[in-house]
């Protein structure tokens, strides 16, 4: 049997630093668990533009289509702000998502007990929080046509089009229902059916898929603005939230900050099954490239490490090992090990990016 294949695209800013700690864990699996990954590497984002004049080469795109999973660090930075829109670093990431047809974006928001005090909400509201937002990723207002900036009369007008087909809604709904069956069997679908026709269609299709295929899963509907309010009021009422591209972008960032630090949160973007039955997939931390701290050793690698754990679970069928990595991170945090973004009033043991990775490796060793 072929080794599981992984394409690493470290990207820009702190991307290479946090990815270096994931590489330690990949080596640990080879040495301690007898699991060897076929790892290849490539460029994406600003570093790819610097080297090739494009944020993603055709060769790297082709490789992404071939491997079992892609693990990405971060893209972008102020030095690229004045580039033409077509070659900005973020276009590389969007191309990966679009051409791999990664329509289902899983954004967990989990609050580790050791970090409950970091949230802006009361500890009892967020302690133990464990929800997932499933965001439709390849359609909606970010991709709909017509779009652009046009001149009408004596002024400019910016146009973006919110557009969804039944099949696009149905497949992301199925993704959410399948995920819910592996969790607490509860889905809340969020849209704006009160003011948007696309929201009306979204609600109707999600309900139809539920009634025909997933009647065992508890389904509720909520307007997205009310959902934002409820996420701030009592987030633990939710389990799986499914929503469109725009609202998912907003709600997942809101949910991320409930946990206290963007440096803690992973994500998975999943597509249709490949020949091996597993979905095409790209995994990446939620945080950005943070160029202001790049090279300082202050970056928190946990989100990238947990993104690799998601790859173990969803792409490589290694659920027990994914849990092993999750538990190692939980132990490190419970022991008070802290990168700069996690240093609060309660203090802790301050560590660098590399030292945090070493602490996770030590916890993995202790788990054997």
- 253 assigned to active site: yes
Rounded to two decimals, the pTM is 0.90
pLDDT higher than threshold 80 for residue 82: yes
Rounded-to-integer distance, Cα 142 and Cα 198, Å = 14
pLDDT higher than threshold 90 for residue 1: no
Residue 343 pLDDT level (bands cut at 50, 70, 90)? confident
Q: Are residues 187 and 239 in the same domain?
A: yes
pLDDT score, position 7? 98
Residues in the chain: 368
Which position has the higher pLDDT, 343 or 171?
Answer: 171
pLDDT higher than threshold 90 for residue 305: yes
Catalytic residue among 12, 239, 249, 341: 249
pLDDT score, position 218? 98
Please check whether residue 124 lies inside any domain of the structure.
no
Q: Are residues 177 and 83 in the same domain?
A: no
- 192 assigned to active site: yes
pLDDT higher than threshold 80 for residue 345: no
Boundary-marking domain end, from 238, 258, 278: 258
Q: What residues have CB less than 8 Å from 206, skipping those under 6 apart?
A: 169, 173, 189, 219, 221, 242
Q: Are residues 209 and 251 in the same domain?
A: yes
For residues 316 and 68, the answer to whether their CB atoms sit within 8 Å is: yes
Cα dihedral 225, 230, 233, 235 in deg (nearest 10): -130
pLDDT score, position 251? 95
CATH number at residue 97: 3.40.718.10
Catalytic residue among 30, 50, 253, 335: 253
pLDDT higher than threshold 90 for residue 133: yes
Please check whether residue 346 lies inside any domain of the structure.
yes
Please check whether residue 112 lies inside any domain of the structure.
no
Across 204-230, average pLDDT: 98
Catalytic residue among 225, 236, 327, 358: 225
Q: Are residues 191 and 241 in the same domain?
A: yes
Boundary-marking domain end, from 211, 243, 258: 258
Rounded-to-integer distance, Cα 73 and Cα 347, Å = 28
pLDDT higher than threshold 90 for residue 275: no
**φ/ψ (deg, to 5) at 111:** -105, 105
Q: Are residues 245 and 270 in the same domain?
A: no
Please check whether residue 228 lies inside any domain of the structure.
yes
pLDDT higher than threshold 80 for residue 69: yes
pLDDT higher than threshold 80 for residue 35: yes
Residue 273 pLDDT level (bands cut at 50, 70, 90)? confident
Residue 344 pLDDT level (bands cut at 50, 70, 90)? confident
Q: What residues have CB less than 8 Å from 342, skipping those under 6 apart?
A: 115, 118, 261, 263, 300, 333, 348
Task: Count Cα neighbours of 14 within 13 Å in the Cβ-side half-sphere.
Answer: 26
Domain hosting 134: range is 130-258
Catalytic residue among 142, 164, 214, 314: 142
Q: Are residues 88 and 148 in the same domain?
A: no
Task: Give the chain's end-to-end CA distance (angstroms, integer).
Answer: 25
Please check whether residue 115 lies inside any domain of the structure.
no
The sign one gets for the Cα dihedral 187, 190, 194, 200 is negative
Catalytic residue among 12, 68, 80, 192: 192
Which position has the higher pLDDT, 262 or 210?
Answer: 210
Arithmetic mean of pLDDT over the chain? 94
- 117 assigned to active site: no
Q: Are residues 173 and 73 in the same domain?
A: no
Q: What percent of the chain has pLDDT over 90?
A: 84
Q: Are residues 65 and 98 in the same domain?
A: yes
What the block records as the tokens of 298 is: 């202050």
Boundary-marking domain end, from 258, 290, 312: 258
Q: Are residues 216 and 275 in the same domain?
A: no
The sign one gets for the Cα dihedral 257, 263, 265, 269 is positive
Q: Are residues 203 and 305 in the same domain?
A: no
Please check whether residue 34 lies inside any domain of the structure.
yes
Q: Are residues 282 and 297 in the same domain?
A: yes
Q: Are residues 242 and 266 in the same domain?
A: no
């Amino acid at each position: 049997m072929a080794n599981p294949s992984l394409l690493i695209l470290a990207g820009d800013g702190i991307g290479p630093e946090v990815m270096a700690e994931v590489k330690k864990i990949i080596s640990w699996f080879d040495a301690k668990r007898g699991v060897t990954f076929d790892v290849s590497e490539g460029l994406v984002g600003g570093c790819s533009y610097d080297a090739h004049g494009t944020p993603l080469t055709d060769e790297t795109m082709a490789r992404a289509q071939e491997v079992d999973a892609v693990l990405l660090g971060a893209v972008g930075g102020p030095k690229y702000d004045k580039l033409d829109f077509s070659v900005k670093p973020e276009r590389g990431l969007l191309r990966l998502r679009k051409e791999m047809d990664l329509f289902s974006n899983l954004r967990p928001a989990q609050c580790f007990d050791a970090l409950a005090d970091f949230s802006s909400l009361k500890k009892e509201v967020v302690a133990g929080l464990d929800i997932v937002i499933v965001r439709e990723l390849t359609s909606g207002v970010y991709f709909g046509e017509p779009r652009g900036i046009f001149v009408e009369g004596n002024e400019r007008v910016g146009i973006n089009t919110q557009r969804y087909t039944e099949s696009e809604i149905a497949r992301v709904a199925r993704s959410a229902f399948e995920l819910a069956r592996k969790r607490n069997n509860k889905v809340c679908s969020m849209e704006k059916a009160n003011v948007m026709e696309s929201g009306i269609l979204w609600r109707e299709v999600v309900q139809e898929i539920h009634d025909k295929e997933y009647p065992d899963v508890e389904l509720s509907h909520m307007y997205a603005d009310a959902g934002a309010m409820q996420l701030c009021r009592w987030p633990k009422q939710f389990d799986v939230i499914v929503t469109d591209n725009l609202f998912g972008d907003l709600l997942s960032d809101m949910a991320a900050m409930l946990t206290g630090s963007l440096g803690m949160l992973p994500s998975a973007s999943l597509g249709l099954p490949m020949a091996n039955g597993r979905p095409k997939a790209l995994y990446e931390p939620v945080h950005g490239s943070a160029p202001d701290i790049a090279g300082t050793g202050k970056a928190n690698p946990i989100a990238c490490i947990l993104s690799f754990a998601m790859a173990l679970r969803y792409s490589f069928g290694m659920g027990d090992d994914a849990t092993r990595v999750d538990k190692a991170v939980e132990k490190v945090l419970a022991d008070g090990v802290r990168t700069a973004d996690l240093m609060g009033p309660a203090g802790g043991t301050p560590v660098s990016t590399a030292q945090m990775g070493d602490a996770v490796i030590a916890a993995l060793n202790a788990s054997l």
